[in-house]
Structure 1
Amino acid sequence: MSLHEQLYQWTARQGLDASSARRLRDLSGLDDPPVDPWTWLRRGTGALAAGLIGFGVILWIAANWGEVSRLMRFALIEALFVASLAGAALRAAWRAPLGLLAFLTLGGLLAFYGQTYQTGADPWQLFAVWALLGLPIAWAARSDLMWTPWTMVVATAIGLWIQTFADHGWRIDARTLPVHAIGIAAYALLCVAMALRPGATPRSWAWRAAVLSAVVAMSAIGLGGLFARHVEGQFWLALAAIAAGLALNWRRAEVFALSAFALAFDTLIVCGVGRVVLEVMRFDLGGLFLMGLVACGVLAASVSLIMRRMRAVGVGA
């Protein structure tokens, strides 16, 4: 049965008036123009071409690395960087893929500089400088093709910063609580920046990459605090941050962010119950049954609330 026939049957079955029937037809998207496949094909081809060109240049340089002087090595990388920027500035249709090529080349240039002169900088500083210098490129490109890798570089810089200042490891105790608090705040700020940037949409890949990075980092910090020798403040901090993210995204009604934060919240809750069961019931049959009930309950509640919210805003209605 076609969508057209289903709409007529639903309209007749529910007794909808003319205005409600038109509203239902608009929501179905039946009269929307077909999606232009060439737009996505051009973007995908551009991204693939930029990646293959960059990869080919890297392989060519690696094959001839021993025969090229240090000055020539810098000249080759810088020439590719300048050429990519010039092409992105002159040709709007190729701005995003050439901007991506320039951004990746910039990272290679910074890494080569650090290896050549042994600056002694921490890894997080390399990624931080890379993100800072690459911000104008991403801002000028104004494309998810640029913002998504930029977001991943920033998220990596934050994670490496936390590792560096947490005694060069993932130590979780009272002494590293301020470090983890700053790190969680930085991830939250990254999510806000990707949500408020010019041209951002709730379904942009850069926004989703920021949310996914934040959720994974907060969950890892929270689980580390939960399963320490004694429950550390990081667990409660991560739980509060994830709950805040869930509440803030409730209004946006974006299913990806809601699902990610809800899954992280449920995981911490279930693992918290598991910690109690481990200490009190020693994982006997009753404890395992309690954990199963809690896991099923929080998961069912989360799915039900998210679906209700999506229906309330007209998504999947």
Structure 2
Amino acid sequence: MINPQPPLTPPPEEPLPDSPAIFEGRASLERLEMLAEKGVLNRAGFERALVLAGYIPNGEGWRRFLDYSLLALAVAFSLSGIIFFFAFNWAEMHRFTKFGLVEAGILICLGFAYYRGLNTLPGKAGLIGAAVLVGALLAVQGQVYQTGADAYTLFLYWAVFILGWAIVGLSGPLWFLWLVLLNLTLWFYGEQAGFADELTLFNLLFALNGLGLALWEVGHAWGCGWLSGRWEPRLMALAAFIFALIPTIALIWSWHSPAEIDRSMVIGTVLYLVLTGAVIFIYTYIIHDLFMLTLAAFSLVAVITSAVVHEVSRTDFEASGLLLIGLVIIVQAALAVNWLQRVARSWEVAHG
């Protein structure tokens, strides 16, 4: 008796254009391109899908972009016009005229912000304009009465005076302006009053920007919609990396001279390592932000390159040494780009 052979199972076929498998998941750019390649989407359908998915701005997106851009330009040009008006007519203006014009500008900006509402973009822009003019008013006060105060006191008073507006305005750019003023206050205090160690100033500036970045991301995670902007935390992270890299590279170049190594270098290096590890973990697995990972990757490139340059400069800094440095930079850049690409692809897979 012959045993019947079990039926052969055909190999799984690639999803056909009419198969629902290819329609599952998020409308990523790669998925839309696959649908176009399989003939599911013609050229017009592919372009329409890109618009609906947000990869190509539609008319509403362009209108919103132009509104925001023109509003930002209007505020910037208005404030710069006021500043240049004072610069050109300074000697001919009475001191009360100077104060009156700046104060009138502040009141107009505040009135406009109140009229449009602090929950609207024009209202927030008006509040930012008033905050900037407060700095102009303090500068006028210092020049008219020749107070001789240090520069850091101007930025400190400026930050104190606009703090209330930042609290009630719920504006990310206004809070970023406030953080910039704190940075300038600390910087000029370090330059004029001085610290025992210059690197201490960079560690404090790192702590200020790192704290601002952490509070921004935590606030956004807790649902503060006005902290949804991404350019502000990216600039904070950029500043934090710059201020942390300075003592780190200083430690590298003092490595063979233990007497030159001080506590600020060690603290700054530890802070840099903590920042880099935190940024890589948080922005890879919690908040997907390729810009932040790029900062971390190329900060490591800067650190490793500094170490190589320091060692080469101690032995051979001729053509062979320069060639080695160039090769190290090329290899690091290639590895960094490859890692960033793999992380971006893993996000696409995770999102479907």
TM-score range, shorter chain: 0.7 to 0.9
Contact 2:109/2:127 (<8 A) preserved: yes
Q: What does residue 292 of structure 2 align with?
A: 257
Q: What does residue 79 of structure 2 align with?
A: 54
Aligned-partner SS, 2:149: coil
1:270 aligns with 2:296: no
Give me the CA root mean square deviation.
3.3
| Gap change, CA 1:277 and 1:264, over 3 Å in 2 | same
Greater radius of gyration (CA): 2
1:247 aligns with 2:277: yes
Aligned-partner SS, 1:218: helix
Aligned pair partner of 1:288 in 322, 338, 348 = 322
| Gap change, CA 1:268 and 1:132, over 3 Å in 2 | farther
Find the aligned partners of 2:278 and 2:226 in 1 and give their Cα distance. 17
Find the aligned partners of 2:15 and 2:228 in 1 and give their Cα distance. 32
1:297 aligns with 2:331: yes
Contact 1:242/1:264 (<8 A) preserved: no
TM-score, with length taken from structure 1: 0.78
Q: What does residue 153 of structure 2 align with?
A: 125
Q: Which runs of 5+ in 1 are unaligned?
A: 1-11, 168-173
1:232 aligns with 2:261: yes
Aligned pair partner of 2:203 in 165, 181, 189 = 181
Contact 1:187/1:210 (<8 A) preserved: yes
Find the aligned partners of 1:306 and 1:159 in 2 and give their Cα distance. 34
Find the aligned partners of 1:311 and 1:162 in 2 and give their Cα distance. 44
Q: What does residue 237 of structure 2 align with?
A: 211
1:65 aligns with 2:95: no
Find the aligned partners of 2:252 and 2:145 in 1 and give their Cα distance. 42
Find the aligned partners of 1:227 and 1:195 in 2 and give their Cα distance. 34
Q: What does residue 107 of structure 2 align with?
A: 82
Task: Give how far 1:156 is off.
Answer: 2.9
Task: Give how far 1:23 is off.
Answer: 0.6
Aligned pair partner of 2:342 in 294, 308, 317 = 308
Amino acid of the structure 2 residue aligned with 1:191: L
What whole-Å deviation, never above 9, does each CA across 1:262-311 have from its counterpart, x for those lacking one?
Answer: 212211221122112212x1314443343334323332332233322222
Contact 1:77/1:105 (<8 A) preserved: yes
Find the aligned partners of 2:265 and 2:308 in 1 and give their Cα distance. 13
Find the aligned partners of 1:314 and 1:287 in 2 and give their Cα distance. 41
Task: Give how far 1:20 is off.
Answer: 5.7
Aligned residues: 299
Identity of matched residues, %: 23
1:134 aligns with 2:162: yes
Task: Give how far 1:40 is off.
Answer: 2.0
Find the aligned partners of 2:346 and 2:153 in 1 and give their Cα distance. 45
| Gap change, CA 1:212 and 1:179, over 3 Å in 2 | closer
